[in-house]
């Protein structure tokens, strides 16, 4: 029996029995993506064990899974929260462009493209009063849901993985309201092209959107890297 006070597990979601591994994985992922644990920080299995009240067996399993997601990395013998790596962010952007463009081409060629209306509604749920956190989430989900419509499991997974790896960086990016609005408009333009079944135009718009997004992201982080390091975040230069 684990006698650690923190061992008082959170009540599992009603109806779902969550294994300890899933619990640790989910919570740890949340802390990493939410920057509650900074990029570059060292992790020890024992700390996680006591923090979440699970034994090392599920902790290890969760670490192995998060490693394949790219959120944590091995540091010699130990574990480290993956640092923000500007060169890597650039490569991810190239990768996601390839995958997302392929997906949107498929989607725009579907007979039934009505699925995009759900995505349009999702975009429209954001307005001036929407909290920043929500804009962030919708911005990620737009790309993931668009890829899901393609029906290709592997393209979807590629996009999801890429967005997960980009998530923390986008959260650190300094974005003014104008930038948010521009992204929103570009998203809508892409949807419009898909709606018309114009695969080429959708591909072109998406490609430009991702390239611009990448440029702004890398530039912003590059300019801010001193400040980010001051906050304890490991930022590896491009």
Partner DNA sequence: GATACCATTTTGGGATACCAAATCGGTATG
Partner DNA sequence: CATACCGATTTGGTATCCCAAAATGGTATC
| Footprint of a second copy (CB under 8 A) | 57, 60-61, 64-65, 68, 88, 91-92, 94-95, 97-99, 101-102, 106, 152-155, 158, 162
Asked whether position 78 contacts DNA by CB under 7 A, the answer is yes
Tokens of 185: 């408009």
For residue 167, the minimal CB distance to DNA (Å) is 24
Q: Which of 79, 72, 64, 78 is nearest to 21 (CA)?
A: 64
Contact 68, 219 (CB under 8 A): no
- Return the half-sphere exposure (C-beta side, CA atoms, 13 A cut-off) of residue 36: 6
Contact 193, 105 (CB under 8 A): no
Asked whether position 31 contacts DNA by CB under 7 A, the answer is no
Asked whether position 47 contacts DNA by CB under 7 A, the answer is yes
Based on CB atoms, which residue is closest to a second copy, 112 or 153? 153
For residue 137, the minimal CB distance to DNA (Å) is 28
CA 62 to chain centre: 18
Asked whether position 46 contacts DNA by CB under 7 A, the answer is yes
Based on CB atoms, which residue is closest to DNA, 13 or 226? 13
Asked whether position 183 contacts DNA by CB under 7 A, the answer is no
Q: Which of 157, 114, 162 is nearest to 140 (CA)?
A: 162
């Amino acid at each position: 029996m684990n006698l650690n006070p923190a061992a008082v597990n959170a009540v599992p979601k009603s109806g779902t029995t969550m294994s300890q591994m899933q619990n640790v994985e989910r919570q740890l992922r949340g802390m990493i993506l939410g920057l509650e644990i900074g990029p570059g920080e060292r992790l020890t299995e024992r700390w996680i064990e006591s923090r979440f009240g699970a034994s090392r067996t599920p902790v290890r399993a969760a670490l192995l899974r998060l490693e394949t997601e790219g959120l944590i990395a091995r540091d010699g013998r130990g574990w480290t929260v993956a640092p923000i790596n500007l060169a890597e962010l650039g490569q991810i952007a190239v990768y996601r462009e390839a995958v997302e463009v392929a997906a949107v081409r498929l989607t725009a060629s579907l007979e039934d493209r009505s699925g995009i209306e759900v995505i349009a509604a999702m975009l429209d749920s954001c307005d001036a009063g929407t909290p920043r956190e929500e804009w962030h989430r919708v911005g990620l989900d737009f790309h993931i849901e668009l890829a899901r419509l393609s029906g290709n499991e592997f393209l979807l997974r590629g996009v999801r993985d890429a967005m997960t790896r980009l998530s923390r960086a986008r959260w650190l990016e300094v974005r003014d309201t104008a930038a948010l609005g521009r992204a929103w408009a570009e998203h809508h333009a892409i949807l419009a092209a898909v709606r018309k079944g114009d695969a080429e135009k959708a591909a072109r718009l998406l490609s430009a959107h991702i390239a611009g997004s990448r440029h702004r992201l890398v530039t912003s982080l590059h300019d801010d890297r001193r400040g980010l390091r001051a906050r304890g975040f490991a930022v590896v230069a491009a």
